[in-house]
Structure 1
Amino acid sequence: MADDATRWLCSLCTTDPGLKDRIEDEHTEATCHFCGRHGLAMPLEDAADLCHGVFTKFFGLTPADPDVFERLDPSWERHGEAPRDVLVRAAGVDVDVADELVGCLSDDYGYRAVRDGDEDPYGPEARYEAIAADDRTFQDEWLALQLELRERSRFFNSEAEDILGRIFGGLESLQTFQKQPVVVTIPPDDPDAVFWRARLFMTQSEAEDALVDPAGSIGPPPPQKARAGRMNPAGVAVFYGSQDIDVCLAELRPPVGSWIVACQFRPLRPLRLLDLPALEAVYEEGSYFDLDFGTRRERAAFLSTFCTQVARPVLPGEEDLGYLPTQVIAEYLADKLHIDGMFYPSPQAGGDRHNVVLFHRAARVRQQLPAEGEEQTGQIEVLEEGIEAVVRVTRMPPAQVAAEKAEALELLDFPGEAWLSQWPAVAQPEDPRTETIEVVAGSVYVNYVFAVTVGAASTKVSYFDVSDWP
């Protein structure tokens, strides 16, 4: 039963969904002090305590006096909003409700502040500004994750999984300031949905062989040849590429005199990709009075800097440990969130140019086998004005194909065949993945590396005598 001497604030006197829920969660019915309606309500003093928590966590008092530069401005006024204006906006209440809430806050907290020689934080001269979210908790967890993986336990790590769950949980629902999702879907029928991939060859003959079978030669390698990369451990093949061929060339870090064969791939099904650079603009909306809004806001602040950490260059020789955290992230996104890959900044190309990686499950390429009786040969010619590359196709007449097939079958019919049949054939493991990408016809390019350009910051060394004797 409500106390008649208590001033009550009902859930209908606020438009903020978080504060409305907090009032209704009290399950107390009373007559509202402001609108006179009878319904679910909360004592005004309790509502003021909730508001104090909002001020403490999300807002800060601005300086009461101008700094040395601002003193030169005769029209200087204190920055920020009055407590009443903050509550009108943040709590969704009318001015009269906000005034009484501020009065309660000043009675509860102003006296102690003034007694200690400080300003009344809810007095008529107080002004507030929103403060940036503090992401130290998530930064500490990210550092702890890296330490755990590098120095303690790399496999079956439940602690790492818990940290990744707190960082990436609900990733699909996150949006940027412009209401753009951070997990995007790439449709297979989009003509612009193509990815370049390139491979480095040391000799011209190796590059010529790659022209014949770009799907097998330029696509992801077989497991036994898959080296560790930023998003994959050794033995797990993924697709690294870019929407810009120049980025592919830069990522290979090719030596002068080498050859690069590149081609385009397109998806065969919709691909769900994490747009890592979009995390820099991720934005969390919600009520200041939601119990988890502060944590969600802090996570958004951490994710806004996460892109830079993931794309940080790793020096040669440090790949085993340097790539370990991002490899674990890729595995978590693929297995737990069913994301097919991600866009991320190119450490080698720099600027706003991006790489794309398709995780193992989405990295199987549709093979392009030659027709029966068809033989292909790649040829590269070095000319004065550049290079020329062709694939020559030779087709045998159908009768010759049939004759050679019959001859091959006759060769198999020898006395030892029955003896050999006693031994079971060695079964090759089947790839359980579905074909996800294919080579775009006519998109193969050959590049000869005759020079390499380096982008670097430079400064002249200065010398100073710092001796402490004359």
Structure 2
Amino acid sequence: MRDYVDQLKEKRICSECVGEPYLQDQIEESGQEAECDYCNQTGRTFTIEDMASLVEVAFQQHYERTETQPDGFEYAMQREGIREWEREGEETIDVIGEAAQIDVQPATDVQEILADRYAERDPGAPREVEYEFEREARYTPKKHDDAEWHTKWRQFEHVLKTQTRFFSQEAADTLKEIFGSLDGLKTQAGRSVIIEVGPGTEFTAFYRARTFESDDTLQEALEAPERKLGPAPSSLSKDGRMNARGISVFYGSSDPIVALAEVRPPVGSKVLVGRFDVTRSLRLLDLSALQEVEAHGSLFDPAYVTQIKRAKFLDRLSRRITIPVMPNDEPFEYLATQAIADYLATEASPTLDGILFPSVQAGRGQSNVVLFYKAARVQAQDLPEGSRITASVASQWDDGLEPHYWVSEEVPETPKAKKADQYAHFFGWDEHNPVTQDNRDPSLKLDVQSLVVHHIAAVEFRTTPYSVDRSRIAMLTDEENRTGDVPDF
């Protein structure tokens, strides 16, 4: 037997006798020129022992041997005549042949080499014990999990929350490992996780809403909607899901009603909603596509199993990023998503301008967007210098004041010379200061004709009710506790 296996190991197989593309490439790149023992043609070849070693690693990563006997439940089902037990999986030679795309003879040779290899490792084991790669053994595809990635993520969150929030090399390395090479990720349908938005795309505009609890502040917003409805300046920017305090970004929605729902207005308030047209092409990471990422590769590529586990983790992470966060938990729970946004805004390759993610307020089919600071500048309204803007929120009618929203633009007959931007301080920059000067290209333009004021008359809730069960039992007496003598019921 030993001589026979040693002879098998020396047999050679050429790339033409192997159908699996990765194995073909490996043979062509590093194989030796020799005659193939299976087709008798001369070409690049591997020894069957080399092939067996590659198959062994692939099996360790992607297959598991099934049980040789039924478990307790399966045995009971069989004993009662409910269902006859049958071992799961395919036989070893069949799995090897299908995976490597080789004929029965080379698959059999690989199986015999591997079976001998594992028998040698435990020569004293009882013969009834089944070894790996025995001919009658059966295998099924292994179910991969993302436990390793999840552990890394939990450690990442722990570091951010308890140790350091800035200049953490460990955190940067984790994010690079998770979000590296995003342009190579595809969904099962072949869709990229990076999408283009802007003119000529599916997303040409986004809606933004703001809640007002007084007519005075609403009137101010109607007079300067780019400033009051657009992204808050750095000095007023609060912590958000995708931005730290002081970082000005643009949050928007794909639908005006979704934008209204996202601000969660109280009953009695008024909400101003407007459409911001995207004026130039922007590149976004689509979190919904991350949920459908499929790893593409070869079972024989050692890196493929890492890609599979990463894809599973990206699915879990993309869902976790968008789950609702309770207001009291926001300062801590937003740390990780803020770090992700910062990394994607500055370090991602290819460069990204924002993130598109599912709305948690409106349910399936609707999207929210965050545009990073570099892509969040709103184009100023095209008005002559010296123009005067006034707004009103009500008009006097016979029955008294009624809601009536209008804006008046008074423009000079002869435009005046342009002055320094009177709102520069509001936005946190000065056009004469090279440090604070805003050199960003505008990405958004508010359509002032799209403005709508919503009066919030009621709020609807979609809930899942659960009843509360209650029970009552007699307390044990001290004597019963001491003796353990519990009365029967």
Do both proteins adopt the same fold according to a TM-score greater than 0.5, normalized to the shorter chain?
yes
Residue of structure 2 in register with 1:15 after alignment: 19
* Mapped partners of 1:73, 1:33: distance in 2: 50
Measure, in 2, the Cα distance between the counterparts of 1:73 and 1:179. 43
Deviation at 1:123, TM superposition (A): 3.5
The answer for the alignment partner of 2:4 in structure 1 is none
1:435 to 442, 456, 460: 442
Report the Cα offset of residue 304 of structure 1: 1.3
For 1:148-227, what aligned pairs fall within 5 Å after superposition?
148-190=159-201, 192-227=203-238
Cα displacement string for residues 382-434 of structure 1 (whole angstroms, at most 9, x for unaligned residues): 999x9854323253662xx68xx69xx9xxxxxxxxxxxxxxx9748321211
SS of aligned partner of 1:371: coil
Aligned-residue identity in percent: 35
Partner of 1:367: 380
**What pairs up with 1:22-421 in 2 under 5 angstroms?**
22-24=26-28, 26-66=30-70, 67-68=74-75, 71=78, 72=81, 77-109=86-118, 112=122, 115=126, 117-190=128-201, 192-337=203-348, 338-372=351-385, 374-381=387-394, 388-395=403-410, 398=413
Q: Give me the whole-angstrom Cα distance separating, in 1, the residues matched to 2:9 and 2:303.
A: 33
Residue 335 of structure 1 deviates from its aligned partner by 0.8
**What is the rounded CA distance, in whole Å, between the counterparts of 1:397 and 1:303 in structure 2?**
56
Q: 1:454 corresponds to which letter in structure 2?
A: F
Q: Residues 68 and 215 of structure 1: is their aligned pair in 2 closer, same or farther, counting only changes over 3 Å?
A: farther
Contact 1:135–1:301 under 8 Å retained in 2: yes
CA shift in 2, pair 1:239/1:137, >3 Å: same
- In structure 2, do the counterparts of structure 1 residues 317 and 74 end up closer, same or farther at CA, with 3 Å as the change threshold? closer
| Alignment check: 8 A CA contact 1:376 1:391 kept | no
Structure 2 residue matching 1:443: 3-state secondary structure = strand
Question: d(CA) in 1 for partners of 2:361 and 2:280?
Answer: 29
For 2:127 and 2:437, how far apart are their aligned partners in 1? 76
| Partner deviation per Cα, 1:35-75 (whole Å, 9 max, x = no partner) | 22333322212311221221121012234445257634566
Provide the aligned length of Structure 1 versus Structure 2.
446
In 1, distance between residues paired with 2:276 and 2:86?
Answer: 60
Query: 2: CA distance between counterparts of 1:19 and 1:58?
Result: 16
Q: Any stretches of 5+ residues in structure 1 without a counterpart?
A: 410-424
Task: Quickly say closer, same or farther: Cα 1:145–1:200, change in 2 above 3 A.
Answer: same
Q: Identify which range, 153-162 or 447-456, moves more after superposition.
A: 447-456
Q: 1:331 to 1:389 in 2, by over 3 A?
A: farther
Which segment is superposed worse, 321-330 or 452-461?
452-461
Return the letter of the residue paired with 2:460: T
1:426-458 Cα distance to aligned partner (Å, 9 max, x none)? 748321211011113421111111222233332
Structure 2 distance, partners of 1:368, 1:183, is 31
- Distance of 1:84 and 1:12 partners within structure 2: 20
| TM superposition shift of 1:345 | 2.6
Judge which range, 229-238 or 4-13, deviates more: 4-13
1:276-304 CA distance string (max 9 Å, x none): 01111100111111121111111111111
SS at match of 2:362: coil
Say if 2:36 and 2:43, in contact at 8 Å, map to a contact too.
Answer: yes
Counterpart residue identity of residue 282, structure 1: V
Per-residue displacement from partner, 1:221-269 (whole Å, max 9, x unpaired)? 1110111111111111001111022222222122122111011112111
Show CA shifts across 1:283-339 (max 9, x none): 011111112111111111111111122113222233222111111111111111211
1:444 maps to 2:455: no
CA distance in 2, matches of 1:5, 1:76: 37
The offset of 1:5, in angstroms, is 7.8
Root mean square deviation of aligned Cα: 2.9
In 2, the alpha carbon distance for the partners of 1:387 and 1:186 equals 40
